[in-house]
Amino acid sequence: MAGLCLPLAMLLLLLASACGQEAPQPQPQPRVQAEIPSQGNEDLFPIRYRLKWLHQAQFAGSYMALEKGFYQKRGLDVQILSGGSDFPPYRSLVNGHSDISNLNLMTAVKYYHTGPEIVNLAQISQKNSTILVGKKTPRLLSIEDLNGKKIGIWRDEPGEYVRLFLEYNQYDAQIVPVDWSVNLLLNNAIDLMNAMDYNELHRILMTGWDEKDLIQFDLSDHGFDIVDDGLYTTKEFYGQHPEECARFTEATLEGWIYALAHPEETLDVVLGYLREAHLPANRAHQAWMLGHMRDRVLRYPDAIGYLHPDDFDKVQAILLEHGWISQPVDYKSFYPHEIRKKN
Amino acid sequence: MRSGKKTKTLAFQIISFIFFFLVIVLAVTFLIIGQLINRVTIDSANESIGNLLSEKVQLIDKKLVRIMTQGRTFRNVVSSDVLDETELRRQLLHLLYDNPDLISVCLAYGEGSGREPRVYQLLEGRLSSKLIANPDYQYKDWYQIPYLTQKSYWSDPWFDADGSAQLVCSYSLPLVVNGSLMGILRLDLPLENLQRIALSIKAKDTGYAFLLSYNGTIVAHPEDSLAMNYTIFDLAEIHQDARLREIGKSIVNDESGIARIKDWDPEGDVWIYYRPLPSSHWTLAMIVPHAELVSDYNKLTLIYLIAAVIAFLIVAAIVYGRTHAINQPLKNLVDSLKLVGRGDLDFELSTSTNAYEIKFLTEAFEQMRASLKEYITNLRQVTAERNRIMNEVLFASAIQRNLIPKHDNPGLRPQNISTYGILEPAGQIGGDLYDYFLIDANHFCFGIADVVGKGIGAAMSMTMVTTLLRTVAPLYGTPAQIMGQLNGFLVKNNLESNFVTMTLGIIDLNTGELVFSNAGHVPLYLLRKDGRLRKFAATHSTALGFFEELAVESESLKLGPGDQIILVTDGVTEALSPDESLFGTAGLETILGELAETQPERTAQAILAAVRDFSRSDDQKDDITILVVEFQGNLPG
CA-CA distance, B282 to B61, in Å (whole number)? 9
Q: State chain B's mean pLDDT as an integer.
A: 87
Could you tell me if A281 lies within 8 Å of chain B, comparing CB atoms? Answer: yes
Residue B252: list chain A partners with CB under 8 A.
207-208
DSSP string, B239-263: HT-HHHHHHHHHHHTT--EEEEEEE
* Sequence letter at residue B349: L
* Strand partners of residue B186: B106, B172
* B4 band by pLDDT with thresholds 50, 70 and 90: low
Distance CA B25, CA B48 (A): 33
| B274-288 per-position pLDDT tens digit | 999 998 899 999 999
The DSSP element (H or E) to which A146 belongs, if any, is: none
Q: How confident is the model over A77-121, as pLDDT tens digits?
A: 999 999 987 788 999 999 999 999 999 999 999 999 898 999 999
Q: Give the pLDDT score at B490.
A: 85
Q: What local confidence, expressed as pLDDT, does residue B312 receive?
A: 80
The three-class DSSP label of residue B265 is: coil
Would you call A187 an interface residue with chain B, using a CB distance cutoff of 8 Å?
yes
A285's CB contacts (< 8 A; 6+ apart) are A199, A202, A203, A206, B234
Give dist(CA B284, CA B152) in Å, integer: 21
Rounded average pLDDT over A283-299 = 95
**B231 to chain A: which residues are within 8 Å by CB?**
206-208
C-alpha A253/C-alpha A16 separation (Å) is 13
Quick one: which of B121, B120, B106, B95 has its CA closest to B183? B106
Asked if pLDDT for residue B267 goes beyond 90, the answer is no
B349 burial type by CB count under 10 A (0-12 exposed, 13-18 middle, 19+ buried):
middle
Closest Cα partner for A190 from B246, B139, B612, B488?
Answer: B139
Nearest residue on chain A to B138, alpha-carbon basis: A178
What does the alpha-carbon distance between residue B405 and residue B438 come to, in Å, rounded to a whole number?
A: 12
- Which residues are paired to B261 by β-bridges? B270
* Calpha distance B134→A86 (Å, rounded): 10
Element (H, E) at B517: strand B513-519
What's the CA gap between A53 and A85, in Å, rounded?
A: 8
For residue A4, what pLDDT is reported? 41
**A27 half-sphere exposure, CB direction, 13 A CA radius:** 4
Q: Which of A86, A190, A206 sits opposite B234 (nearest CB)?
A: A206
d(CA A120, CA A306) in angstroms, rounded, equals: 10
Mean pLDDT of A307-333: 91
**The pLDDT of residue B476:** 86
- Cα A151 to chain centroid distance, Å, stands at 23
pLDDT digits (tens, 9 = 90+) for A229-276: 999 999 999 999 999 999 999 999 999 999 999 999 999 999 999 999
**Beta-carbon separation of A177 and B249 below 8 A:** no
Measured CA to CA, the distance from residue B432 to residue B424 in angstroms comes to 9
Residue B114 CB neighbour total at 10 angstroms: 7
Please indicate whether, in this complex, the C-beta atoms of A282 and B249 are within 8 angstroms of each other.
no
* DSSP type of residue B492: H
A181, B159: Cβ pair inside 8 Å?
Answer: no
Q: Give the tens place of pLDDT for each residue, B495-516.
A: 666 788 999 999 998 899 999 9
Closest CB to A207 among B140, B216, B225? B216
> How far, in Å, CA of A192 to CA of B550, rounded?
159
Which pLDDT belongs to residue A14? 43
- Between CA B579 and CA B148 the distance in angstroms is 133
What stretch of H or E contains A141? none
A37-76 pLDDT, tens digit per residue, is 444 566 899 999 999 999 999 999 999 999 999 999 999 9
pLDDT of residue B300: 82
In whole angstroms, give the CA distance from residue B127 to residue B98.
Answer: 13
Long-range CB pairs of A79-83, under 8 A, 24+ apart, other chains included: A79/A46, A79/A47, A79/A48, A79/A49, A80/A49, A80/A51, A80/A273, A81/A48, A81/A49, A81/A50, A81/A51, A82/A51, A82/A53, A82/A54, A82/A55, A82/A277, A83/A50, A83/A51, A83/A52, A83/A53, A83/A54
pLDDT at A187 over 70: yes
Helix axes A242-261, A283-297, angle to 10 degrees: 120
User: What pTM value is reported for the model?
Assistant: 0.66
Strands B167-177 and B158-159: antiparallel
Chain A residue at shortest CA distance from B248? A208
Give the integer Cα–Cα distance in Å for A192 and A136: 10
* Helix, strand or coil, per DSSP, at residue B226: coil
CA nearest to A281 within chain B: B229
Q: Give the tens place of pLDDT for each residue, B560-585.
A: 999 999 999 988 998 888 888 889 88
Residue B273, CA distances (Å) to B51, B54, B88, B292 in order: 11, 10, 44, 14
Write out pLDDT tens, residues B443-489: 899 999 988 777 777 777 788 888 888 888 888 889 999 998 888 88
Q: Is the pLDDT of residue A22 over 50?
A: no
CA angle B458, B462, B464 (to 5 degrees): 115
Evaluate if residue A16 carries a pLDDT over 60: no
- How far B224 CA lies from chain A's nearest CA (Å)? 11
Query: Most B CBs within 10 Å: which of A54, A87, A184, A187, as the mutation test of the B interface?
Result: A187
